[in-house]
Amino acid sequence: MNPTVLAPIDQLLAIMARLRDPQGGCPWDVKQNFASVAPYTIEEAYEVADAIDRGDFDDLREELGDLLLQVVFHARMAEEAGHFAFNDVVAAICDKMIRRHPHVFGDAEVRDAAAQTIAWEAQKRDEKGLKQDDSVLAGISSGMPEWLRAVKLQKRAASVGFEWPDAAPILDKLEEEIAEVRAELARTDLSPETRQERLQDEIGDVLFVALNLARTSGVDPSAALRCANRKFEWRFRWMEQQAARQRTALQDLDLSAQEQLWREAKENQ
């Protein structure tokens, strides 16, 4: 079959089938499995988010295609194994969207987006057969990035009122947790292993509270971190360039000189 004469989605499915053909396909694609492809799937999702964050719609079109390819790749491997095919994936998400929006496709009513979120989570727990676990935290996957799981845990807790009233007490809590990290760093009576375990615990608390601060302030922590990464990268590259103009390498400058360049980078950004 010539894939170029098919509708776009059928063309993509045909291309993937050809790539996975053990007889004439691509050796790299043929040897992949669900576990080996999964990291690429996660990476492509982040690249979609990055294109959105930059407002680059040409790049977004391309990245969405890359992400769609990941879905097609997984679906093809599942079809080869006799589990399900791409059309089953599409049918399942169509059914789910209709089922979880009874206020759109049925007679149910919701007051606002917040009420819909609560209804969505309740229905999600029911669908997954989690009623035996009656915790509001039931069903939050352990397979997602831990920062995202932390935010989801916080949102679920907030849905039953376990929530800070505003940012002020969260800032106080953040200062408290940082003080506990300082205390652990100052201790000299622990073995290296115990010290590391305690630091991991306390720094985890700092990160958890920081995520809570971002969430309750209406800031997407992933977008905020991407922004911080870009800012750091720009400043650090600027420092390298300035060092090169001085006919030296950044690593050959002492910390004081590097910090001076960092301050200059901030002023020039």
Domain boundaries, the chain: 3-99, 223-268
CB neighbour class for 168 (10 Å; exposed up to 12, middle 13-18, buried from 19): exposed
2 pLDDT tier (thresholds 50, 70, 90): low
Q: What angle do CA 179, 182, 187 make, to 5 degrees?
A: 130
In angstroms, rounded to a whole number, what is the distance separating the alpha carbons of residues 166 and 176?
A: 17
Structure tokens of 240? 């390298």
Structure tokens of 65? 């295609």
- The CATH superfamily of 3-99 is MazG-like (1.10.287.1080)
Report residue 143 CA to chain centroid gap: 11
For residue 42, give the nearest of 254, 222, 250, 248 by alpha carbon: 222
Q: What's the confidence (pLDDT) of residue 30?
A: 97
In angstroms, rounded to a whole number, what is the distance separating the alpha carbons of residues 169 and 7?
A: 56
- Is 1 a residue whose pLDDT tops 70? no
Average pLDDT taken over every residue of the chain: 91
